[in-house]
């Protein structure tokens, strides 16, 4: 490995992965129909349930998070019913389009990019129901907005038939998330963001309600069918060959995360967020997300000083970092400082010092 030329990742996914976690992937391969694998799966399942704070189940998928978007939409939205998608950035927009491309009827509740959703807005939109599901992106990575999921969940729970489907790709293990306490039906995530793993494996906490709903839907596909995944899961297995090396890495990473403690991990991310906000303000830069909605895992800086983000990225590359230049239609108008995964405050200080040097302070 050419460690000397490696530029540490400060982008909002894939994130920097610790060497011990990378190395866990190099263990001898095992067959997925043998006892060693079912032990691994059971261990992982137990830790994943602790990490999602759920007693139900956490399905494991050999895909990126996008696959589980498709699975959640197909397993939860019946053909003659509709879903409400909350859209305020690139990822929430894409999920709504994926539901539609799977033939689902979708209503969209939209805010400007950079804004978040209040429970009142959701309550109002739910009057146009009934909805089979409300689809929310907890942390909109493209805009640095975290939505008030606990409060939104309370509003959704007023409607008994409505499942709450949540994309926690860049919030799981970075922002407070309590699947059972908050009554989240699907909490899906990828590996390569706040989880701090390499890409290629995805996870979703899935409620009993979801499996009951899925049983009423005839054409759910196969690869992302939650019923099929759950059947295998009960035997500590997966329907098709899983990404075993990534599961080794996840096993190791979850040990370290649970040792750190979920609450400590959430706190560390909030501290890094607050530090990043204070730094941006000192630099005379703006913040794209309004107060109260600012993400613990990624700060979208409003580029009010018209900083040349290409030049800034080149400069930071010289310092040994890969940084972000903004995403989608707000690229350049914003740039994002990721502080997710296993990033520690010391590394964030190095990043901010480098950026400060570029900005001439
Ligand atoms: C990155 C991201 C996705 C897409 O995940 P993949 O693992 O790349 O499929 C979805 N939602 C959010 C919020 C993201 O940040």
CATH code of the domain containing 238: 3.40.640.10
Residue 75 burial class via C-beta count within 10 angstroms: exposed 0-12, middle 13-18, buried 19 and up: buried
**Is residue 69 assigned to a domain?**
yes
Pair (229, 354) in one structural domain: no
- From 193, 202, 328, the mutation candidate for ligand 1 (largest count of ligand atoms within 8 A of CB) is 193
Give me ligand 1 centre to Cα 287, in Å.
22
Task: State which of 14, 15, 63, 66 you would mutate to test the pocket of ligand 1, scoring each by most atoms of that ligand within 8 A of its C-beta.
Answer: 66
Task: Point out the ligand 1 atom lying closest to the alpha carbon of residue 67.
Answer: 9
Q: 282: CA distance to ligand 1 center in Å?
A: 31
- pLDDT digits over 219-276, tens only? 999 999 999 999 999 999 999 999 999 999 999 999 999 999 999 999 999 999 999 9
CA 361 / ligand 1 centre spacing (Å): 34
Same domain (yes/no): 121, 212:
yes
User: Ligand 1, closest atom to CA 137?
Assistant: 13
Same domain, yes or no: 294 and 158: no
Is 3's pLDDT higher than 90?
Answer: no
Residue 127 in domain = yes
Provide the whole-model pTM.
Answer: 0.97
In this structure, the answer to whether residues 290 and 325 fall within a common structural domain is yes
Contacts of 131 (CB under 8 A, 6+ apart): 81, 82, 83, 84, 107, 159, 161, 162
| pLDDT tens digits, 275-298 | 999 999 999 999 999 999 999 999
For residue 349, being part of any structural domain is answered with: yes
Residues in contact with ligand 1 by the CB-under-6-Å rule are 13, 64-66, 91, 137, 141, 167, 169-170, 190, 193
Answer yes or no: are the C-beta atoms of 324 and 339 closer than 8 Å: no
């Amino acid at each position: 490995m050419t460690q000397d030329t490696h530029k540490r990742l400060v982008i909002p996914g894939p994130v920097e992965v610790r060497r011990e976690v990378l190395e866990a992937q190099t263990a001898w391969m095992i067959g997925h129909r043998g006892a060693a694998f079912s032990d691994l799966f059971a261990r992982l399942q137990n830790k994943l349930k602790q990490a999602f704070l759920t007693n139900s189940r956490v399905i494991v998928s050999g895909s990126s998070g996008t696959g589980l978007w498709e699975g959640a939409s197909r397993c939860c939205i019946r053909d003659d019913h509709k879903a409400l998608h909350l859209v305020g950035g690139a990822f929430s927009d894409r999920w709504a389009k994926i539901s539609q491309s799977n033939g689902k009827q979708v209503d969209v509740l939209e805010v400007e990019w950079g804004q978040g959703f209040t429970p009142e807005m959701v309550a109002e939109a739910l009057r146009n129901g009934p909805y089979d599901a409300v689809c929310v992106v907890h942390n909109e990575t493209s805009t640095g907005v975290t939505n008030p999921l606990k409060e939104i969940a309370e509003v959704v729970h007023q409607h008994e038939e409505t499942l709450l489907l949540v994309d926690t790709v860049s919030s799981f293990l970075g922002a407070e998330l309590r699947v059972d306490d908050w009554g989240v039906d699907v909490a899906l995530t990828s590996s390569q963001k706040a989880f701090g793993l390499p890409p290629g494996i995805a996870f979703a906490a899935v409620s009993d309600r979801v499996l009951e709903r899925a049983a009423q839907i005839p054409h759910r596909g196969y690869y992302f069918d939650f019923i099929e995944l759950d059947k295998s899961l009960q035997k500590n297995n997966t329907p098709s060959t899983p990404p075993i090396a990534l599961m080794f890495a996840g096993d190791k990473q979850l040990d370290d995360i649970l040792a750190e403690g979920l609450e400590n991990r959430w706190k560390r991310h909030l501290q890094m967020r607050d530090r990043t906000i204070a730094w941006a303000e000192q630099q005379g830069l703006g913040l794209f997300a309004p107060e109260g909605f600012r993400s613990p895992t990624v700060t979208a800086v409003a580029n009010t000083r018209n900083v040349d983000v290409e030049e800034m990225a080149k400069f930071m590359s010289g310092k040994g970092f890969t940084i972000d230049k903004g995403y989608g239609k707000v690229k350049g108008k914003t740039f994002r400082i990721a502080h997710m995964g296993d990033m520690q405050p010391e590394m964030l200080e190095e990043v901010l010092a480098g950026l400060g040097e570029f900005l001439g302070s």
